[in-house]
């Protein structure tokens, strides 16, 4: 089954992707209030002007090279799957809660993560920015970190 991928935007300005069986499916889900922003849970969603993409399946070699621009808060299977939309909304809510409970150390992330790991400072949840090289060095030293999308690492979500 091929899916249409639309760029969507909430009334707060967050942009994310939505995967739909058709334009009619998007309209139907929007009209029923099934669409929500994964960043702020707003239900005021509009389709941005863009060239729609079609997803022809998963696991193809060229899929790995495609950039991921966001997380959809909607089901790609039409209005028949509101449970999936609800599950995605709950996952996004948990991620936002996790981000709220962290200290943003910005570009000092790798340095601060290493200091915590080595016991130089008290352990606490942190977030920030690190280069790919810094993340690889942390992993080599047994310091586990994971990347989160930029739109989730936003102090306005606090």
What does the pLDDT look like over 40-64, one tens digit per residue? 888 899 888 654 444 444 444 443 3
> What per-residue confidence (pLDDT) applies to 137?
93
User: Same structural domain for residues 68 and 12?
Assistant: yes
> What per-residue confidence (pLDDT) applies to 124?
92
Residue 125: both structure tokens together: 């949840």
DSSP H helices in the chain:
23-31, 82-100, 109-117, 132-140
Phi, psi of 150 (to 5 degrees): -55, -40
What does the pLDDT look like over 129-146, one tens digit per residue? 888 899 889 999 999 887
Among 56, 82, 99, the domain-final residue is 99
What does the pLDDT look like over 22-38, one tens digit per residue? 888 888 888 888 888 88
Higher pLDDT, 67 or 94: 94
> What's the domain range around 26?
3-99
39 with 151: CB under 8 angstroms? yes
For residue 5, give the nearest of 58, 41, 60, 44 by alpha carbon.
58
> What per-residue confidence (pLDDT) applies to 37?
86
What does the pLDDT look like over 76-124, one tens digit per residue? 444 445 667 677 777 777 777 888 888 989 899 999 999 999 999 999 9
**How many domains is the chain built from?**
2
133 with 110: CB under 8 angstroms? no
User: Same structural domain for residues 26 and 92?
Assistant: yes
Residue 150 — very low, low, confident or very high, per pLDDT cuts 50/70/90?
A: low
Residue 31: both structure tokens together: 């009209």
**Packing angle, helices 109-117 and 132-140, rounded to 10:** 10
User: Same structural domain for residues 106 and 88?
Assistant: no
- Could you tell me the pTM of the whole model? 0.46
User: Same structural domain for residues 48 and 90?
Assistant: yes
């Amino acid at each position: 089954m091929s899916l249409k991928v639309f760029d969507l935007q909430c009334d707060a300005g967050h942009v994310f992707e939505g995967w739909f069986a058709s334009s009619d499916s998007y309209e139907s889900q929007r009209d029923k209030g099934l669409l929500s922003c994964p960043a702020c849970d707003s239900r005021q969603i509009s389709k941005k002007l863009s060239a729609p993409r079609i997803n022809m399946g998963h696991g193809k070699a060229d899929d790995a090279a495609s950039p991921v621009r966001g997380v959809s808060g909607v089901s790609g299977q039409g209005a028949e799957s509101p449970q999936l939309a609800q599950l995605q909304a709950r996952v996004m809510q948990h991620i936002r809660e996790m981000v709220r409970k962290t200290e943003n150390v910005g570009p000092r992330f790798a340095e601060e993560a290493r200091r915590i790991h080595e016991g130089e400072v008290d352990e606490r949840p942190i977030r920030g920015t690190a280069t790919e090289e810094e993340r690889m060095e942390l992993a080599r030293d047994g310091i586990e970190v994971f990347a989160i999308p930029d739109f989730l690492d936003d102090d306005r979500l606090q």
